Structures are given as C-alpha cells and as structure tokens.
C-alpha cells in the first residue's frame, strides 16, 4: 500500500464527496439489513398461526401485509441510496482519474530529453492510460465495495450474535479459511499483474514503433519478420495474462464453496437447535438471508484485494515517473531578458548514455545580431552545440554565457521562448499546414502566416494544394516532401520572431537554387537576430560573420569566409571541392 499513499492528497481534495458517499453507503446497507429481520418476523407469525398460538387469521394477514410493505419500502429506498452511492463515489473516482492523468502529463512535459531517450513512447502512453485506469478502480469500486462490505459485515454479525451466538459461530466458521486463502491468492495476483502490465507496455511500445516506421519496414520487405517478433511478444504476454487469470479464476469458486458450507451449517445446526426448541423457524430464515447477503461482500473481498494489489502495482509504475526529477531544471523564477550574445567558455560535454565526449574545450563568442556558421564532418559535434544553447542538456565543464549570464541561471522558459529552432529532422504535427506554422506564434494573423511561408519559400507550394493552408498534414507530415517539411519548419521558426535563430542543417533536402532564395530571405529577416547555421555546404555559410570548423568535438578553424578560403585547411578544401561539383 506504500505506492498508493501518494494518492491520499486526492482523497483530501474530494473529502466532502467521499464523506457524503460513505454516509449514503452506510444508510443504504442499514436499510437493506432491515429485510432479514422482517422476514424472521413474518415466518414467526405464520409459524405461530400453524401451531395454534395465534388464531385470528385477519390479524395474521394484516401483520404479514404490513411486513411485506415494509420489506418493499426498505428495498426501494436501499436501491435509491445505492444509486446515489455510485453517483458520489464513482464520480469521485473519475474526477481523480482526470486529475492524475493531468499530473502525469504535466510531469512528462517537465522531463528532460534524456528521459525520453531512456523510455519508450509506448511505455509512457501505457502508464498514463492503462495504469491510471487500474488506479481508478482503487478510488471507485474498491472503496465503494469495501465500505459496503464493512457495514454489512459489522451490522449483520452484531445482529446475528444478538439472536444466537452459537449458530453465528458455526455460520462464520469458514470465514478465517476464506481470509487466509484470499491473502495468499492476492499476493500471487499482485506479482502476476505487475508482469502483465510490463508486457502490455512492451507490446504497445513495439506496435507504436512498427507503425511509426511502417514505410521503412515495407520498403525493406521485413513486415513478416516484424509480425513474427510481435507475435512472439504477444504470445508471451498472453501466457502471462493466462497465468494471471488462472489465479483470479480461483476466487469465485472458493467463495461459493465456503458460502455454500455456511448455508449447510445454518440449516444443519439451526435445524438441530429448532428441534431442541432453542430458536424459532424464523431465525433460520433470517440467518440464511444474512449468509446470502454476505455472499457478495465476501466474494468482493477477493476482488477488491486484487483491485488494490493491481492498483498498487500500477501506482508504483506511475510513481517511478512522477518522482523522476528532470535533469534540466529552471533555476530562475524571475523573468530573464534575452538579447542574444552567446559565449562558450572551455565547454566540454559528454553524452551520458553513449559516453561520447561530443565537445572538447570549445570556446567562441557570438555578438548579438551576428551570424555564426558551424561546419564539420558528420559526428563532429555541430548539433551538440545547438542542443546546449537551447539547454536541452547541461555542460559538464566550462560554461555557456548568454548576454554575460550563465545559461543555467536564466529563466528556462524565457530562454526557449527566445530561440527559433529548426531541427535537422523536421517534425510536423498531424494538423493543418497553417496550424503547424502557427505553432511558433499562436496569435499570428493569416497575413503573418503567409509572410513567414513566403520567407521560407514554401508559400507557392502551399497554394497549389487543394486546400491551401488548410491542407491536413498526416502523422509526421507524410504527405509532404522532405524539402517541403523543412521549409514549413523554417516558417514556424521565423513567425516566432525570436532573438536567436538556429538552423540545424535544415536546408539539406532543398536544391541549391531554393537554398539560395531562402538564404537571401533569411539574411533580411535575421539582420538584427543572433543566427546560428549548421551546414555541410559552403554556399549556406559563406555570408556568416564567423565560421567555425569542428573536428572530433574541437574547433580546428575559425574566421570569416574570406579569411578561411585563403588558409590551407578543411574549409578551403571543402570550398574548392564544392566549387568543382557546381561546375561539373
Ligand atoms: N542524443 C545523443 N545521445 C548520445 N550521443 C549522441 C547524441 N547525439 C549525438 N551523440 C554523439 O555525439 C557526437 C556528436 O554528435 P552531433 O550530433 O553533435 O554531430 P553533428 O556534427 O551534428 O553530426 P551530423 O552532421 O551528422 O548531424 C556523435 O559521436 C554522436 O554519436
């Protein structure tokens, strides 16, 4: 129950709803428990009449009718209260489910990039959906039936002891056996349920990955292999599920067996005591009713225990994520103004998971409003510099200063709001082109959206689509070409109008003519903005104020285009080679 303690705050939040629910439940059970008593009285009246103790038939009939009316009235009221009980407690569980999902979602938003690399999307989805559903069962049915059972048990047993303690002892004899069996079974169910949830996460993650990469799978013709892998995993999950259900299936037969035993005991011991003249016939009828009224609550003990065990297992998985502290924290609550001067001072950075030192003692300074271009072979650390400026990671040694302040001391939201980032792989949401561009500025007018698209040299393509800016982009923008996606991604960054613009090799999928047009536009837009361009092409970087060349995480050359073409080295070689390619 340790993991579930985390949820006590929600009980506190909805305490009034819970309290009303409890009162209603108690009232409904009190009413239901009036019925066996009335049955006893009715049987006794009939017995007294047959034994000749009472001889006035009209009085007997009137008493019986009175009892019947009371039984119907109590049953109707109990039913109405049961309806109200569901309205309060089950509705409370739905509200808590909603709150918990929001809490997890907000935590997902806070978590750093590293967390997403370590955990699969399917698993994240599973915890926020499947696991939360299991936890909801604890708030709703488990609590409702527990209160139900507790009231029935306490009230019925007190009543039974008051009538005949000896018969009650015999009737309740099978209960300790039941409790022990339930306890043992619940432990088994808990273990198996955790395994089932883990397999469900694996299955979801596998399916999610397959659907995301479906075009690759199809083009490589490996659908069959993927199906076999999925099939194997699904079979394993099925086995684990069957194991779980085998344990769960034992519950009801066990309950029915032990309740049946109680019934036999009531009839046998009750019959003997009736013959002895210790109890009336009505008591046997009343006890049989109690035993049967207790059947469901006793059966529910097992069910509730397994719900609580499963909820505990699920909440443990949810807590793992909720308690995960984001590595990148906002250390500055006060707003920070970002103008755009960027300085790297002896920055060294190693990726935790791969242990690759991507940057080694890198230093440079870029004044506000200037353009820096970064060139270098693949894997030399270009994107890493960009990632560090957006504070997707924190540096190991050295420091990054923005306008003279250490980046870790700036308000994280303000920093990211001031960066327009175009990643290497353009990502578009399943939404219209317009909304994909507007993502950079929620309040942008149509004119502003069009201007951004014109600057990114994509407007002429968009208006050719049947629905223009309202064209729906499929998941990951599958209906657009790579170059079109890149340009929409550029428009999204431009419309944000940030002080720092970052283009991470985002013109790789467009031809050199288009590149030239976009670069000219960007030159105008980014006049007063600090701009970083990562590229493999000299044509993209030649107008930059400073160009740095990276090799294996170190800066090996630094200077303007004119300076670097006159020095032997990487840049000059690249320039000559690309010049030659152009001529060919
Ligand atoms: N998210 C990551 N986790 C772990 N290691 C990474 C990660 N990203 C990059 N690396 C490693 O860090 C090194 C530098 O990568 P980086 O992406 O900065 O290079 P790059 O110059 O941008 O390459 P490219 O031109 O291919 O985009 C590489 O060796 C890469 O394997």
Mutation probe of ligand 1 site: the residue of 379, 424, 548 with most atoms within 8 A of C-beta: 379
Closest to 455 (Cα-Cα) out of 506, 514, 375: 514
CA of 376, closest atom in ligand 1? 21
Q: How many residues does the chain have?
A: 584
DSSP string over 431-444: SBHHHHHHTT-TT-
Q: Are residues 235 and 274 both part of a single domain?
A: yes
Q: Are residues 550 and 411 both part of a single domain?
A: yes
Ranges of the chain with pLDDT below 70? 1, 299, 475-478, 580-584
CA distance 330 to 321: 19
Tell me, using a 6 A CB cutoff, whether residue 378 lines ligand 1: yes
pLDDT at 93: 92
Averaged confidence pLDDT in the chain: 86
Predicted ipTM of the assembly? 0.95
Q: Are residues 267 and 145 both part of a single domain?
A: yes
Output the CA 358–ligand 1 centroid distance in Å.
7
Q: Are residues 389 and 511 both part of a single domain?
A: yes
CATH of the domain at 524: 3.40.50.300
Instruction: Indicate the pTM of the whole model.
Output: 0.71
In this structure, the number of other CB atoms found within 10 A of the CB of residue 311 comes to: 27
Range of the domain at 218: 3-322
CATH of the domain at 229: 1.20.1560.10
Tell me the pairing of strands 530-534 and 342-350.
unpaired
Output the CA 10–ligand 1 centroid distance in Å.
43
Residue with tokens 């349920």: 193
Full strand arrangement of the beta sheet holding 371-376:
419-422, 500-504, 530-534, 371-376, 546-551, 554-559
Output the CA 111–ligand 1 centroid distance in Å.
21
Output the CA 354–ligand 1 centroid distance in Å.
10
Q: Are residues 306 and 353 both part of a single domain?
A: no
pLDDT at 345: 93
Residue 329 in any domain: the answer is no
Tell me, using a 6 A CB cutoff, whether residue 383 lines ligand 1: yes
pLDDT at 219: 85
Output the CA 92–ligand 1 centroid distance in Å.
48
pLDDT at 478: 58
Residue 289 in any domain: the answer is yes
β-partners of residue 374 are 534, 548
Residue 247 in any domain: the answer is yes
Residues 387, 390, 396, 400: is their CA dihedral positive or negative?
Answer: positive
CA distance 494 to 440: 8
Tell me, using a 6 A CB cutoff, whether residue 358 lines ligand 1: yes
Tell me, using a 6 A CB cutoff, whether residue 69 lines ligand 1: no
Q: Which of 275, 294, 322 is the last residue of a domain?
A: 322
Q: How many domains is the chain partitioned into structurally?
A: 2
pLDDT at 92: 92
């Amino acid at each position: 129950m340790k993991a579930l303690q985390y949820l006590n705050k929600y009980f506190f939040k909805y305490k009034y709803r819970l309290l009303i629910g409890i009162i209603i439940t108690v009232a409904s059970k009190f009413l239901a428990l009036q019925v066996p008593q009335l049955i006893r009285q009715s049987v006794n009246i009939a017995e007294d009449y047959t034994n000749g103790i009472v001889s006035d038939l009209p009085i007997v009939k009137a008493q019986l009718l009175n009892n019947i009316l009371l039984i119907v009235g109590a049953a109707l009221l109990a039913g109405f209260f049961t309806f109200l009980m569901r309205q309060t407690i089950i509705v409370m569980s739905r509200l808590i489910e909603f709150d918990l999902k929001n809490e997890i979602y907000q935590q997902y938003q806070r978590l750093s990039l590293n967390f997403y690399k370590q955990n699969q999307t399917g698993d994240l989805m599973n915890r926020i959906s499947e696991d939360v559903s299991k936890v909801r069962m604890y708030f709703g049915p488990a609590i409702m039936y527990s209160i139900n059972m507790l009231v029935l048990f306490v009230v019925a047993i007190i009543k039974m002891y008051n009538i005949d303690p000896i018969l009650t002892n015999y009737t309740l004899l099978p209960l300790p056996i039941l409790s022990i069996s339930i306890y043992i079974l619940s432990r088994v169910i808990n273990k198996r349920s955790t395994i089932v949830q883990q397999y469900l996460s694996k299955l979801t993650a596998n399916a999610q990955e397959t659907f995301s990469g479906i075009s690759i799978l199809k083009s490589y013709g490996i659908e069959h292999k993927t199906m076999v892998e999925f099939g194997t995993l699904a079979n394993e999950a099925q086995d684990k599920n069957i194991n779980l259900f085998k344990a769960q299936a034992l519950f009801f037969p066990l309950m029915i067996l032990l309740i049946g035993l109680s019934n036999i005991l009531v009839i046998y011991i009750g019959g003997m005591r009736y013959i002895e003249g210790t109890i009336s016939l009505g008591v046997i009828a009343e006890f049989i009713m109690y035993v049967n009224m207790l059947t469901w609550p006793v059966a529910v003990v097992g069910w509730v225990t397994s719900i609580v065990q499963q909820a505990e297992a699920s909440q443990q998985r949810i807590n793992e994520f909720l308690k995960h502290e984001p590595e990148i924290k906002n250390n500055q609550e006060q707003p920070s103004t970002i103008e755009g001067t960027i300085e790297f001072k002896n920055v060294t950075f190693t990726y935790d998971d791969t242990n690759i030192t991507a940057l080694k003692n890198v230093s440079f300074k870029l004044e506000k409003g200037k353009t820096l271009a970064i060139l270098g072979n693949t894997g030399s650390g270009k994107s890493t510099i960009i990632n560090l400026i957006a504070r997707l990671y924190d540096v190991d040694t050295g420091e990054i200063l923005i306008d003279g302040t250490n980046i870790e001391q700036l308000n994280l939201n303000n920093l990211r709001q001031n960066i327009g980032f175009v990643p290497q792989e353009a990502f578009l949401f399943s939404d219209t082109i317009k909304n994909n561009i507007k993502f950079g500025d929620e309040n942008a007018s149509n004119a502003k959206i069009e201007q951004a698209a014109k600057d990114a040299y994509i407007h002429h393509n968009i208006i050719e689509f049947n629905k223009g800016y309202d064209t729906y982009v499929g998941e990951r923008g599958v209906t657009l070409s790579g170059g079109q996606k890149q340009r929409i991604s550029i428009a999204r960054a431009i419309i944000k109008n940030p002080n720092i613009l970052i283009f991470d090799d985002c013109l790789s999928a467009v031809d050199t003519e288009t590149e030239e047009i976009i670069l000219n536009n960007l030159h105008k837009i980014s006049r007063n903005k600090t701009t970083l361009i990562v590229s493999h092409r000299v044509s993209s970087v030649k107008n930059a104020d400073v160009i740095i060349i990276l090799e294996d995480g170190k800066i090996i050359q630094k200077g303007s285009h004119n300076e670097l073409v006159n020095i032997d080295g990487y840049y000059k070689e690249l320039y000559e080679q690309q010049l030659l390619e152009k001529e060919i």
